Amino acid sequence: MWRKYSRKNYLFSHNKTSLPIQNQLCDPLFFYKSSFLRYLKKISILFVLVSALFGCGIRTQIPPPEVPQEPRPFNQLTIAAIGDIMVHGAQLTSAWDVENDTYDFEPVFSTAKDFLSAADLTIGNLETTLPGRKKLYAGYPRFGTPDALVTAIHGAGIDILTTANNHSCDTGKRGVVQTIKVLDEYNILHVGTYRNKSEYEANRILMVERNYIRLALLSYTYGLNDMPIPKGTHVNLIDKQQMTEDIALAREQFPDFIIVLIHYGKEYERYPDQFQKEIVAFLFNEGVDIVLGSHPHVVQPFVLRQVTDKYGDTKPRLVIYSLGNFVSNQRDRYRDGGIIFKFILQKNYTTNKSITRNITNIHYIPTWVYVHRTADKNQFYILPIPKYLKNDQPLHLPEDAYQKMLTFYKDTQLHLLSSPIQIKQEMKIPLPKEE
């Protein structure tokens, strides 16, 4: 009897309050309890087998059914666009850090960083190359800049760069190839130049999605200062047939908006020429929504108007013909600054499940390049002018620099007031067509 029951009853009653097994055998209910426990064990096994047979799971808690969420009434994406990022010889000299034997461009962008990083996407024009060899570092006419420039650009919150401009090939094939390599290392998106044919075919349309809004970006330049495109590489040139094919290819990706970054026009002209207007009209007709221009090195007007494209779609289209210089050593009037051009792309969901897309909240922040001169060196800064209007910041401007900044600010405001633009939050009214 001891051998038959002792092990089983020890296993079933083993806990801190149990009596010794010898005392349990003296309990008149001992054998009754044992039989009852064996009965419960058999019932448990039977329940498991039946559950398995009918495919039932054993869960301590059944989660409530998922309730489908209503879609947001709209999604929106804030874009900030800036103009030419150039590095002339004086800027190279200024960026050299003698103590650390390296280049440092971060102070240049430090004063504008908060304004650039506030947008969901910030787009600019990289009007130099990154050849990675000190002997190739130079300013005008053949720009070559240290990689430290990209360190500063990345740190300032710039997300996308167009690399197609008239200086794309300034340092030859090495410059084209190394520029893309460095941008990739910093996870900065780029469009316009390509290291080889396969990269061009795979990446000629830059697709970007943020905040559930899908963008297609393309980039083109009018020319390359009569320099040949290095063998094996590719640079996008303005060619209507090619642009038509590219835009059609972009449309196949079902973007919410198509943006073209274009390098064109006459330098230092404050109004777009006929060629610029014709190219923009052509792009709008092909289905482009937004055109961001560069090259004139001065700010030109922006226009928002309703356009019906060749596909029959009528909607608002936005162009700024030139964004001006974001940073350079050009110090003449109108050339010593630019703007941070901001707008919101909106994707609206209606009750009948249709989608409308709008361009709203268009505005700009004038910027001016200040050169802080000391006995040791000249330091370049990009100043968002509204922040420095009272000249009460830690970086205090001398009177002559302050007056030049105010002149650029007034010039820019008066110039852009003439932009034929009509903005309404809902964009439900017809916009005037540009003559």
Same domain, 42 and 111: no
Mean per-residue pLDDT, 112-134: 97
At 72 the pLDDT is 63
Q: Is residue 58 part of a domain?
A: no
Residue 151 has which token pair? 């360190």
Q: Is residue 161 part of a domain?
A: yes
Q: Is residue 432 part of a domain?
A: no
Cα–Cα distance for residue pair 134/372, rounded to 1 Å = 25
At 354 the pLDDT is 87
Cα–Cα distance for residue pair 202/220, rounded to 1 Å = 17
Same domain, 227 and 295: yes
Cα–Cα distance for residue pair 322/276, rounded to 1 Å = 10
C-alpha distances out from residue 70 to 256, 293, 350, 351, Å = 21, 39, 11, 10
Cα–Cα distance for residue pair 280/291, rounded to 1 Å = 7
Q: What angle do CA 149, 116, 399 make, to 5 degrees?
A: 85
pLDDT at 118 over 80: yes
Same domain, 85 and 47: no
Mean pLDDT of the chain: 86
C-alpha distances out from residue 376 to 97, 111, 349, 372, Å = 11, 21, 58, 11
Same domain, 94 and 150: yes
Higher-pLDDT residue of 30, 72: 72
Furthest-apart CA atoms within the chain: distance in Å: 111
At 35 the pLDDT is 54
Cα 273 vs. chain centroid, distance in angstroms?
A: 30
Convert the pLDDT of each residue in 301-322 to its tens digit.
999 999 999 999 999 999 999 9
At 241 the pLDDT is 98
At 418 the pLDDT is 64
Q: Is residue 433 part of a domain?
A: no
Best CA proximity match to 159, nearest among 213, 264, 81, 239: 81
Q: Is residue 63 part of a domain?
A: no
At 42 the pLDDT is 54
Q: Is residue 425 part of a domain?
A: no
Mean per-residue pLDDT, 121-129: 98
At 25 the pLDDT is 40
Q: CA neighbours within 13 Å on the CB side: how many for 19?
A: 8
Same domain, 34 and 113: no
Same domain, 94 and 34: no
Residue 240 — very low, low, confident or very high, per pLDDT cuts 50/70/90? very high
* 312 Rama class: left (phi>0) / alpha (psi -120 to 50) / beta: left
Same domain, 28 and 160: no
What percent of the chain stands above pLDDT 70? 79
Convert the pLDDT of each residue in 50-96 to its tens digit.
444 444 433 334 344 454 455 568 899 999 999 999 999 999 999 99
What residue type is 219 in one-letter code? S
SS3 string, the chain, reads CHHHHHHHHHHHCCCCCCCCHHHHHCCCCHHHHHHHHHHHHHHHHHHHHHHHHCCCCCCCCCCCCCCCCCCCCEEEEEEEEEEEECCCHHHHHHHEECCCCEECCHHHHHCCHHHHHCCCEEEEEECCCCCCCHHHCECCCCCECCCHHHHHHHHHCCCEEECCCCCCCCCHHHHHHHHHHHHHHCCCEEECEECCHHHHHHHCCEEEEECCEEEEEEEEECCCCCCCCCCCCEECECCHHHHHHHHHHHHCCCCCEEEEEEECCCCCCCCCCHHHHHHHHHHHHHCCCEEEEECCCCECCEEEEEEECCCCCEEEEEEECCEEEEECCCCCCCCCEEEEEEEEEEEEECCCCCEEEEEEEEEEEEEEEEEEECCCCEEEEEEEHHHHCCCCCCCCCCHHHHHHHHHHHHHHHHHHHCCCECCCCCCCCCCCCCC
Cα–Cα distance for residue pair 295/281, rounded to 1 Å = 18
Same domain, 371 and 278: yes
Cα–Cα distance for residue pair 56/50, rounded to 1 Å = 8
* 199 Rama class: left (phi>0) / alpha (psi -120 to 50) / beta: alpha
Same domain, 82 and 145: yes
Name the one residue in this structure whose structure tokens are 């060899």: 133
Residue 139 has which token pair? 């300013």
Q: Is residue 65 part of a domain?
A: no
Mean per-residue pLDDT, 280-289: 98
Cα–Cα distance for residue pair 430/211, rounded to 1 Å = 28
Higher-pLDDT residue of 9, 215: 215
* 212 Rama class: left (phi>0) / alpha (psi -120 to 50) / beta: left
Convert the pLDDT of each residue in 163-218 to its tens digit.
999 999 999 999 999 999 999 999 999 999 999 999 999 999 999 999 999 999 99
Cβ proximity of 135 and 95 under 8 Å:
no
At 433 the pLDDT is 41
Domain residue limits at 38? 2-53
Same domain, 84 and 47: no
Mean per-residue pLDDT, 127-151: 97
Domain tally, the chain: 2
Same domain, 159 and 96: yes
Choice among 238-247, 285-294, 368-377 with the minimum mean pLDDT? 368-377
Q: Is residue 68 part of a domain?
A: no
Cα–Cα distance for residue pair 232/71, rounded to 1 Å = 47
Same domain, 329 and 273: yes
Cα 218 vs. chain centroid, distance in angstroms?
A: 14
Domain of 113: which CATH number?
Answer: 3.60.21.10
